[in-house]
Amino acid sequence: MSSEQEVTSLIQGLYHALGDWQAFARCLDPGVTVWESDADRMLHSTAEVDALRTRRRAGMTPATVPVSVAPEDLLVDAWGDSAVARYVLRAVYPGADPDRCYRVSDVLRRGEQGWRIVHHHSEAMSPHDRAAAAPPPSSRPAGTPPAGR
């Protein structure tokens, strides 16, 4: 498997593990730095990412938990033991709530434990940007409503 394929697999696995903090955290370097739209500063470490995750979960109800979260338009480049992944992260919500999309860039390093994300930058997209990011209907999983319903 190429480095690009390994990184692609890690990014996809990251979001499959979204409800399992231990599996999710294994994709992150312990000293990861993170920019998130809802964080007031850069986060430094998996402990700070976990604190943000805990704050987010405290405000969730069954109606505000996404039914799916997945990367789209994933582009990966690797150079030796370094890689960059860029993608749109789409969160699909139940009912009539519109999808939420985020522009994401991840920087990864391959070490003894394999590939790990060392920096993650996620920015919420505007409704206009979300509509532009909508994949063609044929590329959405069956039964998944389009963006901006």
Residue 37 near residue 125 (C-beta atoms within 8 A): no
Q: Is residue 113 assigned to a domain?
A: yes
Confidence of residue 122 (pLDDT cuts 50, 70, 90): very high
> What average pLDDT does this structure show over 99-108?
95
What pLDDT sits at residue 142? 41
- For the cut 50, the answer to whether the pLDDT of residue 148 exceeds it is no
What pLDDT sits at residue 133? 61
Q: Is residue 146 assigned to a domain?
A: no
Lowest mean pLDDT of 58-62, 116-120, 125-129, name the range: 125-129
Q: Is residue 142 assigned to a domain?
A: no
Instruction: Work out how many domains the chain is built from and give that number.
Output: 1
DSSP code for 37: T
| The token pair that represents 69 in the structure block | 């979260």
CATH number of the domain that residue 18 is part of:
3.10.450.50
Residue with token string 């405290």: 58
Give the residue numbers spanning the domain of 118. 3-136
Q: Is residue 148 assigned to a domain?
A: no
Q: Is residue 111 assigned to a domain?
A: yes
